């Protein structure tokens, strides 16, 4: 019995810290791709059929590499990291909230099941959607501020707090910080698809395996994120359009819904405009999700080992206290019997 090594499941906050840590490390590694995909998604170019004389932004990017070159030329290397502190704060808070609630709702669901079988794909998607919706309610203001920082020129860029105040003062008051909430709630299907696919692929490819190798977690994370990105790219583009400054042709008038953004994009760029920036979006998603799940798996293992170590220390301390109490009882025994 003493030789058995049972792996104890992590508490919700342990899963949340592991997920948030993995997400921050992964996003920091590929942050320039985040800037590029955001700039590509927010720009509006004129289509041949458009009667609008000037729907385009001042700066236009034709590809990922063109965007990188122009950003570096205009803002220097640091331009590729504009808004990074706010973005990583948003990534940390969103992923902490997501993994925390995902762990809770999944545990509650499994506790109610009489047969110990893995949840179906549909159930995994539903659990992920619930966790994602709760996480978005708490973290979308940081995403709004970060998107604004990423899409303005260098001379207009402000700090995290100042940008947030600008959003509040210039648009719909405090509700401006929740701009794009509906699109974000719809987009909970993205992490739901991602983590639902991850769990399903893991059950199929590595059934019964408790700890994945780094490359296995990277492969599963990349595959699941690619599927989710392709399925939800139009909504991602619409959300970015909602949260950024409106195109110059709108004279400062912000979009009111993601349906309005999608109609505007289709009018000026056609249906394919809804998939602009999908190249860096997929590459970023592959790398981020791969690194995230690889790091999360390592972090979870580290936490499990750390918790086991602390439990051993606690057990040893309790054993010593019990031994001391027993010795005192034995020494007091003869005195009490006299």
Residue 3 binned pLDDT confidence (cut-offs 50, 70, 90)? very low
| DSSP letter for each residue of 79-93 | GGGTTHHHHHHHHHH
Mean pLDDT in residue range 8-18:
74
Grouping H, G, I as helix, E, B as strand and the rest as coil, residue 321 is helix
Please tell us whether the domain made up of 12-337 is placed in CATH 1.10.340.30. no
Distances (CA, A) of 140 to 12, 166, 168, 212, 309: 21, 16, 14, 32, 37
pLDDT band for 214, please (50, 70, 90 cuts). confident
pTM value surpassing 0.75? no
Asked whether the predicted pLDDT for residue 336 surpasses 70, the reply is: no
Per cent of the chain over pLDDT 70 is 87
Mean pLDDT confidence for 258-284: 85
Report the range of poorest mean pLDDT among 14-23, 195-204, 325-334.
325-334
Residue with tokens 């004389």: 53
| Six token digits for residue 334 | 């003869």
pLDDT above 80: residue 169: no
Whether residue 54 has pLDDT greater than 60: no
Mean pLDDT of 76-81: 88
Of the candidates 182, 144, 299, 282, the one whose C-alpha atom is nearest the C-alpha of residue 223 is 282
Mean pLDDT of 286-312: 74
What rounded mean pLDDT belongs to the chain?
A: 77
């Amino acid at each position: 019995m003493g030789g058995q090594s049972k792996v104890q499941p992590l508490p919700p906050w342990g899963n949340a810290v592991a997920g948030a840590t993995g997400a921050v490390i992964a996003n920091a590694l590929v942050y320039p791709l985040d800037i590029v995909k955001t700039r590509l998604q927010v720009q509006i170019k004129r289509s041949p059929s458009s009667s609008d004389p000037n729907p385009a932004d001042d700066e236009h990017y034709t590809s990922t590499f063109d965007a990188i070159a122009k950003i570096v030329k205009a803002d220097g290397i640091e331009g590729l990291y504009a808004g990074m502190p706010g973005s990583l704060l948003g990534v940390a808070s969103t992923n902490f909230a997501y993994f925390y609630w995902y762990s809770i709702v999944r545990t509650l669901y499994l506790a109610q099941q009489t047969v110990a079988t893995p949840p179906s794909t549909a159930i995994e998607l539903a659990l992920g959607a619930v966790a994602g919706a709760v996480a978005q309610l708490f973290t979308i203001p940081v995403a709004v501020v970060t998107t604004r920082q990423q899409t303005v020129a260098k001379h207009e860029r402000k700090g995290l707090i100042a940008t947030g105040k600008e959003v509040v003062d210039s648009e719909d008051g405090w509700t401006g910080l929740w701009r794009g909430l509906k699109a974000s709630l719809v987009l909970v299907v993205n992490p739901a698809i991602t983590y639902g696919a991850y769990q399903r692929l893991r059950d199929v490819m590595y059934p019964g395996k408790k700890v994945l190798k780094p490359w296995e977690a990277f492969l599963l994370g990349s595959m699941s994120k690619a599927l989710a990105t392709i399925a939800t790219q139009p909504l991602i583009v619409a959300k970015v359009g909602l949260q950024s400054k409106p195109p110059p042709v709108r004279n400062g008038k912000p979009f009111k819904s993601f349906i309005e953004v999608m109609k505007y994009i289709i009018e000026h760029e056609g249906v394919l405009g809804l998939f602009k920036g999908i190249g860096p979006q997929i590459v970023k998603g592959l790398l981020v999700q791969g690194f995230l799940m690889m790091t999360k798996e390592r972090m979870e293992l580290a936490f499990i080992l750390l918790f086991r170590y602390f439990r051993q220390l606690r057990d040893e301390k309790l054993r010593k206290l019990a031994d001391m109490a027993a010795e005192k009882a034995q020494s007091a025994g003869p005195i009490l019997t006299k």
